[in-house]
């Protein structure tokens, strides 16, 4: 029997009894889509999908999307191997700060799936923070600023102007292209978006790619964004997931932020990642 249980009070849920070896029926797909809309992140323990099965699971939520700037697996250009080898010590880690993936694209990813192949005995957790809960509890003075406003996003790590220092970059196992002037373009998205299935509103801002509000300078926006980020990454809204080999996590890239912890030097960590698309985020 399929059961769903919350992982924390405000976000994240674990689903048990889910079997995709015989395919995914329409009822199963509907259940998963609503679970994701309700919880922003859902985990299926011990699923051990093949890459083919993972891609079929991805298609439940939207068309599979090829990510730019990150080198995919040689055998499948729709899958990224999120890998850190045991000897990649004292280096940054892929996704090692609060962010929403590629929010600087005109149509950012709608969500992603990670399948754990090999994980450390301890460490390498992923943390998500619900931006639905963050918006619902946002102080009124900040709500008045973000409601009806657009924010500017740029692909700073991949552009020319703001490339991160070498020591902060992920290790050699994840190859990324940088120095693309197109990534420095300013892209506008609503600061508050609506999740289509649930109709709930969510913040759509993040400290990696959001630089300012549309009608403000970076200097004017900075203290406001700092207050919002302090609020929206509170532990109250967060779910820290401890991986086991075979686990699968699915998240809505637009209604939650996520953070990959980097506390496992000396251990190998490998997950396969697929991404799905949808209509552009809308207020």
Active-site amino acid positions: 99, 101, 258, 273
CA torsion angle 142 146 152 153 (round to 10): 80
CA torsion angle 144 150 151 154 (round to 10): 170
User: What span, in angstroms and rounded, lies between the C-alpha atoms of 140 and 203?
Assistant: 14
DSSP string, 112-139: EEEEEEE--SS---EEEEEHHHHHHT--
- 3 state DSSP class of 275: strand
What would the two tokens of residue 245 be? 């080999």
Strand partners, 81: 272
Chain Cα centroid distance, residue 183: 19
User: What span, in angstroms and rounded, lies between the C-alpha atoms of 139 and 145?
Assistant: 10
Element (H, E) at 145: helix 140-146
Residues in the chain: 283
Strand partners, 210: 153
């Amino acid at each position: 029997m399929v059961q769903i249980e919350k992982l924390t009070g405000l976000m994240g849920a674990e689903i048990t009894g889910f079997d995709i070896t015989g395919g995914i029926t329409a009822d199963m797909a509907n259940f998963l889509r609503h679970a994701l809309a309700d919880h922003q992140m859902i985990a299926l323990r011990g699923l051990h999908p093949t890459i083919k099965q993972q891609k079929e699971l991805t298609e439940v939520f939207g068309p599979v999307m090829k990510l730019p700037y990150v080198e995919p697996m040689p055998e499948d250009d729709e899958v990224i191997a999120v890998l850190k080898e045991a000897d990649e010590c004292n280096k940054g880690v892929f996704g090692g700060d609060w962010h929403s993936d590629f929010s600087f694209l005109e149509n950012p990813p709608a969500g992603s799936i990670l399948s754990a192949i090999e994980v450390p005995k301890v460490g390498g957790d992923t943390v998500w923070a619900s931006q639905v809960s963050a918006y619902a509890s946002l102080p009124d003075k900040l709500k008045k600023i973000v409601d009806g406003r657009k924010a500017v996003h740029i692909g700073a790590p991949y552009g020319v102007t703001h490339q991160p220092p070498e020591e902060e970059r992920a290790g050699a196992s994840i190859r990324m292209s940088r120095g693309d002037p197109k990534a420095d373009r300013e892209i506008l998205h609503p600061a508050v978006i609506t999740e289509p299935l649930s109709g709930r509103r969510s913040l759509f801002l993040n400290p990696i790619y959001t630089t300012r509000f549309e009608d403000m300078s970076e200097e004017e926006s900075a203290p406001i964004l700092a207050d919002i980020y302090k609020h929206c990454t509170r532990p109250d809204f967060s779910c820290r997931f401890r991986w086991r080999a075979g686990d699968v996590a699915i998240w809505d890239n637009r209604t939650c932020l996520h953070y990959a912890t980097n506390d496992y030097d000396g251990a190998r960590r490998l997950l396969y990642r697929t991404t799905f698309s949808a209509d552009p985020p809308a207020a």
